[in-house]
Amino acid sequence: MIYWRPLVQSGAARPKGAVPLAGGGLWFSHVERLERGRAGEVVPAAEAGAALEPLAAPRADFAGLSMAAPRIMGILNVTPDSFSDGGLFLAAGDALAQARAMAEGADILDIGGESTRPGAAPVPVAEEIARTAPVIAALRAGGLQTPVSIDTRKAAVAAAALDAGAQVVNDVAALTFDAALGPLAAARGAPVILMHHQGTPETMQADPRYDDVLLDVYDWLAERLAAAQAAGIPRERIALDPGIGFGKTVQHNLALLRGLSLFHGLGCPILLGASRKRFIGSIGGGAEAQARMPGSVAVALAGVAQGVQMIRVHDVPETRQALLLWQAVNGGQA
């Protein structure tokens, strides 16, 4: 199989025949032709033939948000043990205050009640619902309009969150954990985010291995996309995520970040979640997760430069400022 990775560019000075990326302000004139076991080759975009169609086609709105320019997803973990904000927002009042503060700069809020950090143990369904649904309901009761996604692998938790006013299901297991989650999202018409992972949170960092991490993750996401569609979720309601840090070494994460634009070939919005993750500390220094904001912003912008449509971050105002400046300097973005 041949894979085509667009070499994404920004700015107004573009050659004739440049192809817009996913209907947004970025573009490409060349692609990298990739094949397992062979060195990549840079060729003019036209050589990709019919494979250009999903790379160029505008994306449908996701949860009512235009995907023509990058969107910020603010993270709110209502857990005692999340790797970076665990315990900070377990009390309902603290969670609500943080959600409202983040909504100033975030386009969508991602609320989770179960840590999936390496080594984390599963949380019982009733506990996960008790952590998340009341916060979402209180935000809606308070008039918050910002779209909310529920970060869960479980259908019962997703159902309670959707009932409370969430719109999107963000599943780090990409519908492989709970067979009822796909049919639930289909029946409710909820958009879903499907994330790549290898193994389970408890064991995933033990010894992750791939033949070719970029192409393996691409094939896996293609398979999960097909499975979600078979479960009745239309492509227009699906976003995909390479799952930084979920069963990946530092080198795996870097290979995925360098090759990110490949995933546009799947024809869906791409979400990148690298915020405060361990590799940022390994490369940039920052033993404590809270000390990894600058590196997280750098990685988010590297993703934006490759055309990802959503960045999932803890540090919303800092990322918003960086994004506004990136857009102003690079131009051509709505």
Interface residue list for ligand HH2 (CB under 6 A):
75, 77, 79, 82-84, 112, 115-117, 151, 170, 172, 193, 195, 241, 243-244, 271, 273, 312
Q: Cβ(69)–Cβ(326) under 8 Å?
A: no
Q: Cα dist. 307→160, 207, 276 in Å? A: 33, 30, 21
325: left (phi over 0), alpha (psi -120 to 50) or beta: alpha
Shortest distance, position 2 Cβ to ligand HH2, whole Å: 28
Sheet order of strands, 30-35 included: 2-6, 30-35, 41-44
59 is an active site residue: no
Q: What angle do CA 83, 170, 295 make, to 5 degrees?
A: 45
Judged by CB, which is closer to ligand HH2: 52, or 233? 233
Choice among 71, 153, 292, 312 that is catalytic: 312
Choice among 117, 224, 248, 277 that is catalytic: 277
Shortest distance, position 132 Cβ to ligand HH2, whole Å: 12
Phi, psi values for residue 251, rounded to 5°:
-65, -35
CA atoms of 80 and 293, how far apart (whole Å): 21
Judged by CB, which is closer to ligand HH2: 48, or 173? 173
Shortest distance, position 1 Cβ to ligand HH2, whole Å: 26
209 is an active site residue: no
CA atoms of 266 and 130, how far apart (whole Å): 36
Q: Cα dist. 88→82, 97, 101, 160, 264 in Å? A: 9, 11, 14, 23, 35
Shortest distance, position 159 Cβ to ligand HH2, whole Å: 19
Judged by CB, which is closer to ligand HH2: 19, or 150? 150
SS (H, E, C) 248-299: CCHHHHHHHHHCHHHHHHHCCCEEECCCCCHHHHHHHCCCCHHHCHHHHHHH
The residue sitting closest to ligand HH2, measured at its beta carbon, is 273
Shortest distance, position 331 Cβ to ligand HH2, whole Å: 29
Shortest distance, position 54 Cβ to ligand HH2, whole Å: 21
Q: Burial level of 166, CB count in 10 A (0-12/13-18/19+)?
A: buried
CA atoms of 76 and 92, how far apart (whole Å): 12
Q: Which of 106, 105, 101 is nearest to 88 (CA)?
A: 101
Judged by CB, which is closer to ligand HH2: 30, or 59? 59
- Which residues are the active-site residues? 277, 312
